[in-house]
Amino acid sequence: MKKILITRKLIKSSEENALRLFDVKLNQEDKLLSKDQLIKESNNCDGILSSLTEKFDSEVISKLSTTVKIISNFAVGFGNIDIDAAKKRNIAVTNTPDVLTDATAEIAILILLGAARRAKEGIKWANKKNWKWSADFLMGKQLTEARLGILGMGRIGRAIADRARSFGMKIHYHNRSRLDKNLEKNAVYHQSLKSLLSVSDFFSINCPANKDTRHIINKETIKHFPDGAVISNSARGDMIDDDAMVEALKSGKIYSLGLDVYNGEPDIHPEYLTLPNVFVLPHLGSATKKTRTAMADLAVKNIDEFFRTGTCKNRVN
């Protein structure tokens, strides 16, 4: 029976599923493991079921036990793992695509609405219990007939587009390549990011995290947005240059910002918490029981498939 380290606590049924298949080492206290602890706890293990909270950089991977043959990431993303370093050690890396698409798309719409309709300010006023109605009280931006720019038209980007269409939004997108017409569904393709930004009354970040997309929204690219644009990020925090964004929010160039992810989680740029036009959630994209269970079960299945067949359809390296 293969020996597996599961780095963070999973839904109980998923842990039980893993225990039926493997000799499992669980993190019962659900503590974040340091680099040294990751190396120590995975010693003599055949595989690791990891979370985004663990950073498998080149240093960690170089020191893993030679018995480790797979890192199965409990996420659709895998920016926490040095893919090249894993490949050099002949360690397979897998992810959990598809199963979290709908839940993440729902959160993307939530933060877009929260930012546009001034939810943070509204909650504050409701808690004060002394607000008074007036014709111009907390007027926000309406999604209907507005242009939504989507950066990254993969599974999640397309699911967001489908939901945004129900609000009457006009979909524009930029992708590494243009989609087939049946997937595009009359969305307008922009070959350049600058072109997309220039028409984005609303903007949703949904592209993969890599060295090319880090700080893709920065002081220079912000200039291309229409004045008063609403931006949301449900992908990865390092897509946005925080200092540049704070400046744009203060000046009014950017009307408001919705975040489910941000740099340095759980730490956050302090001004995001004080600015009234920033609506923030603590990385809830996949946080439904149905989705988290499906993700964990798929992460377990990836390991089982790899050891049974020598490969895995969700391998990313």
SS (HEC) of 256-273: EEEECCCCCCCCCCHHHH
What pLDDT does residue 77 have? 86
Residues 90 and 233 in one domain: no
Which residues, other chains included, contact 123 with Cβ-Cβ below 8 Å and sequence gap of 6+? none
Instruction: Count CB neighbours of 260 within 10 A.
Output: 23
Domain assignment of residue 258, yes or no: yes
pLDDT per residue as tens digits for the range 253-269: 999 999 999 999 999 99
Residue 125 covered by a domain: yes
- 259-to-107, 113, 232, 263, 297 alpha-carbon distances in Å: 10, 11, 6, 10, 27
The pLDDT, as a whole number, for residue 140 is: 98
Contact 104/121 with Cβ under 8 angstroms? no
Q: Indicate whether 301 belongs to any domain.
A: yes
Structure tokens at 279: 């609506």
| Residue 167 buriedness (CB in 10 A; 0-12 / 13-18 / 19+) | middle
For 81, 174, 241, the CA distances from 153, given in Å and listed in that order, are: 23, 7, 22
Same domain, 220 and 178: yes
Closest by Cα among 184, 183, 163 to 172? 184
- Report the catalytic residues: 236, 265, 283
Do 186 and 115 share a structural domain? yes
Find out whether the peptide bond into 266 is cis, omega within 30 degrees of 0.
yes
Is the same domain home to 89 and 151?
no
CA angle 73, 78, 81 (to 5 degrees): 90
Answer positive or negative: Cα dihedral of 280, 212, 314, 176.
positive
- Residue 139 covered by a domain: yes
- Domain membership of residue 315 (yes or no) is no
Please report the pLDDT score of residue 208 as a whole number.
86
203 and 274 part of one domain: yes
Contact 208, 77 (CB under 8 A): yes
Q: Is there a single domain that holds both residue 165 and residue 218?
A: yes
* 193 is a domain residue: yes
- Domain holding 166: CATH number? 3.40.50.720
Claim to verify: residue 250 and residue 111 sit in the same structural domain: yes
My answer on whether 300 and 152 are in the same domain is: no
Examine the domain organization and report whether 196 and 276 are in the same domain. yes
30: in domain: yes
Spatial neighbors of 210 by CB under 8 A, at least 6 apart, are 79
Res 25: pLDDT: 97
In this prediction, residue 190 carries a pLDDT of 98
Q: What is the pLDDT of residue 210?
A: 84
Could you give the number of structural domains in the chain?
Answer: 2
Are 144 and 168 in contact by the 8 Å Cβ rule? The answer is yes
Global confidence as pTM: 0.90
* Together in a domain, 25 and 71: yes
Query: The tokens of 245 are what?
Result: 């964004």
3-state secondary structure of 128: helix
Q: Is residue 260 part of a domain?
A: yes
Helix, strand, coil in percent for the chain, rounding step 5 = 40, 15, 45
List average pLDDT for each run of 10 residues in the chain, which is 317 residues long.
Answer: 97 96 96 95 97 95 97 92 96 96 97 98 96 96 98 97 98 96 97 98 93 94 98 95 98 98 94 97 96 97 97 96
The CB-based long-range contact list for 81-89 (8 Å cut-off, 24+ gap) reads 81/50, 81/56, 82/56, 82/57, 82/58, 83/316, 83/317, 84/58, 85/56, 85/57, 85/58, 85/61, 86/56, 86/61, 86/317, 87/317, 89/61, 89/62, 89/64
Q: Looking at the structure, do residues 128 and 272 belong to the same domain, yes or no?
A: yes
State which residues form the domain around 124.
Answer: 101-280
Interatomic CA distance for residues 225 and 173, integer angstroms? 14
User: Cα–Cα distances in Å, from 211 out to 150, 207, 216, 238, 239?
Assistant: 19, 12, 10, 10, 10
Domain identity same for 232 and 252:
yes
